[in-house]
Amino acid sequence: MADAIGARHAKPRASGKRWLWLLLACALVVAVLGGLKFMQVQQAIAFANSFPERSESVTALTAQPGEWRQTYRTIGELRATQNLELRTEVDGKISQLGFVGGDRVKQGQLLLQLDSSEEEAQLNATRAQLKLAELELKRRAELLAKSLVSKNDYDIAMANRDVLLANAAALSAAIAKKTLQAPFDASTSLHTLEVGQFLAANTVISTLTGEAREYWVDFKLPQDKLNLAPGDTVLVSGRALQGGPLTAKVISADARVAADSRSLGYRALLADPPPALKAGSVVDVEVVTGVKSGVFRLPASAVRKTNFGASVYVLNDAEAGAAAPYRATRREVVVGGVDGSDILVLGGLQAGERVAAIGAFKLQDGILVHVVDQPPEPEQ
């Protein structure tokens, strides 16, 4: 009975030893495999270290702060400082034309004469009557001095003389209304007038444009851009200006903001414009709305934009023994807009920092960088 009980206890001990030996064998296998893998990783690292660290070549520039003139562009119209539409005041038939459409005329030059023969005949008759009235008034004055006529007779003679003077003045004015002269040196517009043609009152004869070499530039600004004052300058540009924009000086502004457009009208004086510019032309007007200092101008190739913001790569000196002189550091920046081909950086840079330009798209944070004078050739 005792031998049977001892046999039952001996079997579990033998089974436990077998499991222990199995675990030790598994641990030994794992250790051997781990050691082999470690040796492989070390060999791979040594193999990788046998190659030089990756680097890229880019052009670079030194960040220098400057001023950014914030501008607003609008449309303006050129107006001649001397310009008017010459119209007839009364009806009449053309008796004389003194200019050809498109000609230049001088101040006081006869442009058009309406038939005034009837008024001139009446004026001649009135002048003859006026001579008699003046003689009668003179005789009455002599008789009044001798008390041979009454004061009333003298007053009647004077009134008759004054009436004739008024009639003569009215006839002279009527003749003057039928005589149109150039009020200043000007260029005329085209016309289709002919001698003998009957014209109604208020008919346009010609548009006169003064010969002065200066124009008004009329333009409007929205109410949130109203920071101009007389004496300020604006830039005027257009297709006819091959030599670049011209400077015009603001001389006046409307008294109130327009209710329909919520804008204010301005007028600038453009002195000595080129002959290619004509009155009535539409031009571009650029207005400086503010000046911001401490702004960095970078080429578009230097700024990388994503949905999360903008960044540049700043090139710092690499550590001693590195395979390239610089190491790139990605830097987030604040951009403020575009000025021509440059992107304006408002924050994130310091003066004097070296920034990667052409080729910056190849960089990543921490990569070694070579700086070249010319853009690197693309790989074939």
Domain boundaries, the chain: 1-51, 55-67+293-371, 73-81+213-292, 88-208
Count CB neighbours of 298 within 10 A.
Answer: 21
- Tens-digit pLDDT profile for residues 110-124: 999 999 999 999 999
Q: Are 108 and 304 in contact (CB under 8 A)?
A: no
CA separation, residue 4 to residues 7, 12, 15, 17 (Å)? 5, 14, 18, 21
The winner for highest mean pLDDT among 40-54, 163-177, 221-235 is 163-177
Q: Which CATH number fits domain 73-81+213-292: 3.40.50.300, 2.40.30.170, 3.40.1160.10, 3.40.1110.10?
A: 2.40.30.170
**Predicted local distance difference test score (pLDDT) of residue 126:** 94
CATH number at 55-67+293-371: 2.40.420.20
In the chain, % of residues over pLDDT 90: 52
Split at pLDDT 50, 70, 90, the class of 276 is confident
CATH number at 88-208: 2.40.50.100
Helix and strand tally (H, E) in the chain? 3, 22
Strand partners, 83: 209
Distance CA 97, CA 112 (A): 5
Three-state SS for 379?
Answer: coil
**Predicted local distance difference test score (pLDDT) of residue 377:** 56
Q: Is residue 158 within a helix (H) or strand (E), and if so which, with residue range?
A: helix 151-177
- Tens-digit pLDDT profile for residues 319-328: 888 888 999 9
Residue 145 tokens read as 């001095």
Split at pLDDT 50, 70, 90, the class of 308 is confident
- Tens-digit pLDDT profile for residues 16-69: 677 777 788 888 888 888 888 888 887 777 655 555 678 889 999 999 998 888
Q: Is residue 130 within a helix (H) or strand (E), and if so which, with residue range?
A: helix 117-145
**Predicted local distance difference test score (pLDDT) of residue 271:** 92
Strand partners, 60: 356
Residue 141 tokens read as 């004055």
**Predicted local distance difference test score (pLDDT) of residue 379:** 47
- Whose tokens are 């790989």? That residue is 379
**Predicted local distance difference test score (pLDDT) of residue 52:** 65
Computed over every residue of the chain, the mean pLDDT equals: 87
DSSP letters spanning 14-53: HHHHHHHHHHHHHHHHHHHHHHHHHHHHHHHHHHHHTSPP
CA separation, residue 141 to residues 146, 157, 338 (Å)? 9, 9, 90
**Domains 55-67+293-371 and 73-81+213-292 agree in fold:** no
**Predicted local distance difference test score (pLDDT) of residue 380:** 45
Q: Are 207 and 84 in contact (CB under 8 A)?
A: yes
| CA neighbor of 306 nearest in space, from 271, 287, 328, 333 | 333
Which stretches does DSSP call E strand in 223-341? 233-237, 246-253, 263-271, 282-299, 304-306, 309-317, 326-339
- Low-confidence winner among 285-294, 310-319, 353-362 (lowest mean pLDDT): 285-294
pLDDT, average across residues 103-115: 93
Split at pLDDT 50, 70, 90, the class of 14 is low
Distance CA 252, CA 246 (A): 19
- Tens-digit pLDDT profile for residues 187-206: 899 998 999 999 999 999 99
